[in-house]
Amino acid sequence: MHAPGDVVGGRYRVTGRPMGGALAGVLGDEPVRLTGIALPEVLDQEDWDRPQPWEGLAVRVAGELAGAPVGPRLLRGFEAFVEGRRLWVAEEAPPGSVLAELTERPWSPYRVAELAADLARALAELHRGGVVHGNVAPESVLVCEDGAAMLGGLLLGAVQEAYCRELGGVVERRVYETRAVLLGVRAERWAPYGGAAGDAWALGVLMHRLLTGRAPYPERDLGELLAAVRDGRHEPLDGCGPLAGVVGGLLAGRLTVGQLRSWLAAFLVGAPEPYDPGRVAEVLPVVRRPGVVTARRRGPVERRRAGAVERRPSRVSPAVLGSLLVGGVLVLMLAAVAAVAAFAG
């Protein structure tokens, strides 16, 4: 097992932070994700004694995908190589988390719709360029820090399939055994359709997994999984909520990636704004007419706390109060004149 500081492939330095079962590393200053898979020993011993085109096959597949479409929702695969009887694929790794680490509990339908819209856009870009992804799975999706989803795993999936064909040769049973070892019992990797339809089907499986916390087909045994996929026997879609219709359409092969994008765009228009369910509702102020201010009268307890003295309001009108003031002034002036005259006499 590689430790932090080790170099893989002669130029990728391991940083030691795991990323969904892969290794985190750097190429210069650029973060990368290094996926290493042990090559399956499913052939007879005499077959291993023959010259094996391990390195040449990885380089050839990487070269075939060098001109694959690029886009804002697609992760770049740097290269594939064999080192120490392990298949390694290096892929860019922006800050975020692998989706396989975030599927412990079901997601809300609107959040799944957002993620599916990003992945459908990535697949549409590949399909327009004549490229089939073939590896739509939780381990291939990166959820970035801003919440957007990016689809990777293109180079890894292509190299895995090439090795399965190379190891299995013309014997179908060997191809099946090799795929079983390399891919495991992961429903998304066993699509009943080929081409773009297979990618759409795998996206439907992934959406069901996110909405319900499990795949729509049994994953206990590969034979049981393949039989259910072949017969179209998936779990009821009740747990998919408002997305049940599109998930069913994808699994039945009736819905394309382009149609899914259109439906999700219309669905997300009505998405509610994010909210915090633990937040206490605020009491809004009373709306009043402009220019009118209503003072809140304090009760007896508040008046005592404030040290206020309760006073009764005056009932004398302003006009009467003015006359009394003038009369008082005149009386004071007459008294002052009388006092001066008495003193002079």
Residue 303 has pLDDT above 70, yes or no: no
Domains of the chain by residue range: 7-269
User: Is the pLDDT confidence value at 109 over 90?
Assistant: yes
Residue-level pLDDT at 26: 94
- The H-assigned helical ranges of 131-256 are 154-168, 172-183, 195-212, 222-231, 244-251
Query: What mean pLDDT is predicted for residues 102-113?
Result: 91
CATH number of 7-269: 1.10.510.10
- Indicate whether 345 pLDDT > 80: no
Q: Is 277 helix (H, G, I), strand (E, B) or coil?
A: coil
Which of 35, 147, 133, 138 is CA-nearest to residue 91? 35
Q: Does the structure show a pLDDT above 80 at 328?
A: no
For residues 314 and 312, what is the distance between their CA atoms, to the nearest angstrom?
6
Q: What is the DSSP letter of 49?
A: H
Please provide the size of the chain in residues. 345
Predicted confidence at residue 212, as pLDDT, reads: 96
Mean pLDDT rounded to a whole number for the chain = 81
The confidence band for 16, taking pLDDT boundaries of 50, 70 and 90, is: confident
- Cross-strand bridge partners of residue 144: 96
pLDDT per position as a tens digit, 232-264: 999 999 999 999 999 999 999 999 999 999 999
Q: What pLDDT shows up at residue 180?
A: 92
| Span 257-283, pLDDT tens digits | 999 999 999 999 988 865 444 443 333
Q: By CB neighbour count within 10 A (0-12 exposed, 13-18 middle, 19+ buried), where does 314 fall?
A: exposed
pLDDT for 238 equals 93
CA–CA distances in Å: residue 201 to residues 192, 207, 222, 250: 8, 10, 18, 5
Helix (H, G, I), strand (E, B) or coil at 304: helix
CB 220 within 8 A of CB 185: yes
* pLDDT value, residue 304: 46
Q: Is the pLDDT of residue 308 over 80?
A: no
H helix or E strand, kind and range, residue 124? helix 109-128
Share of the chain above pLDDT 70, in %: 73
Looking from the CA of 61 toward its CB, the CA atoms found within 13 Å total 26
Question: What mean pLDDT do residues 186-192 have?
Answer: 97
Distance of CA 79 to the CA centre of its chain: 27
pLDDT for the residue 134: 96
The per-residue pLDDT for 329 is 57
Which range has the top average pLDDT, 14-18, 93-97, 276-280, 323-327? 93-97
What was the pLDDT predicted at 172?
Answer: 85
The whole-number average pLDDT for the span 273-295 is: 42
> What is the amino acid identity at position 256?
T
Of 332 and 153, the structure prediction assigns the larger pLDDT to 153
What radius of gyration do the chain's Cα atoms show? 38
Distance of alpha carbon 150 from alpha carbon 145, whole angstroms: 11
**Single-letter residue type at 111:** R
Q: How far apart are CA 119 and CA 74, in angstroms?
A: 9
Q: Which residues pair with 13 in a beta bridge?
A: 7, 26
pLDDT tens readout for residues 175-187: 898 899 889 999 9
> Would you state the pLDDT for residue 315?
52
pLDDT in tens, 34-88: 998 877 664 444 554 555 556 688 888 989 998 899 999 999 999 998 887 788 9
Residue 291 has pLDDT above 70, yes or no: no
